Amino acid sequence: DAKTTQPPSMDCAEGRAANLPCNHSTISGNEYVYWYRQIHSQGPQYIIHGLKNNETNEMASLIITEDRKSSTLILPHATLRDTAVYYCIAVNNNAGNMLTFGGGTRLMVKP
Amino acid sequence: GAVVSQHPSRVICKSGTSVKIECRSLDFQATTMFWYRQFPKKSLMLMATSNEGSKATYEQGVEKDKFLINHASLTLSTLTVTSAHPEDSSFYICSAPGQLEQYFGPGTRLTVT
């Protein structure tokens, strides 16, 4: 699976949009971009994934650049409960594959 | 969505003893489950892939005789930490794949004294 690079930490004001970047310049054509988050002392939670097109669900939006070398996860109105470590992972198109976690971005939402 | 449970949620044991951690898929079947270990302020590291009906596949550097994995049924995988040492103290997390995503258990915090 392609390596991903994320900033180690970010702050965001409560109620504002949180934009979390991820670089995956070596991503291959059959690899999806997946985002998970891990709240302190809990198991990771799936957020969203995409291949080429931008995606939106009830939790977040995912913007993937046209060349697929980078993406941005957007939490439109961050709350204190969104404080977590966010992991961007490139995953082969078989969802049964194991995940290789990088360092992630520690997002701190502040009041 | 699908639910994966782990038991116990936290356990304290003495050096030299063995500890069993259970991972269950509650409303779906999983022929494969994954076991991860996470040290404080670190990322998750894959330990092994648990396969129903066959032997587990271990990642490089993970001792298969120390971390025994048994995938007894389509909804249950167990990880047994044998002869535990303080350096085995960690957060152990399992996951099971769904159609589009991995479902993670809540984790088990193991402390070896």
User: Which parts of chain A sit beneath pLDDT 50?
Assistant: none
Q: Write the DSSP symbol of residue B88.
A: G
pLDDT at B5: 97
At A18-45, the pLDDT tens digits run 999 999 999 998 899 999 999 999 999 9
At B18-60, the pLDDT tens digits run 999 999 999 899 999 999 999 999 999 999 999 998 999 999 9
Contact present, B86 and B15 (Cβ < 8 Å):
yes
Q: Which of B44, B101, B106 sits opposite A101 (nearest CB)?
A: B44
Cβ contact (<8 Å) for B46 and A98? yes
Classify residue A59 as exposed, middle or buried by CB count within 10 Å of its CB (0-12, 13-18, 19+).
Answer: middle
Q: Which of A49, A98, A104 sits opposite B49 (nearest CB)?
A: A98
Classify residue B74 as exposed, middle or buried by CB count within 10 Å of its CB (0-12, 13-18, 19+).
Answer: middle
Phi, psi of B55 (to 5 degrees): -70, 150
B103 in contact with A, Cβ within 8 Å? yes
At B57-111, the pLDDT tens digits run 999 999 999 999 999 899 999 999 999 999 999 999 999 998 888 999 999 999 9
- Nearest CA of chain A to the CA of B82: how many Å? 23
- Nearest CA of chain A to the CA of B71: how many Å? 16
pLDDT at B100: 84
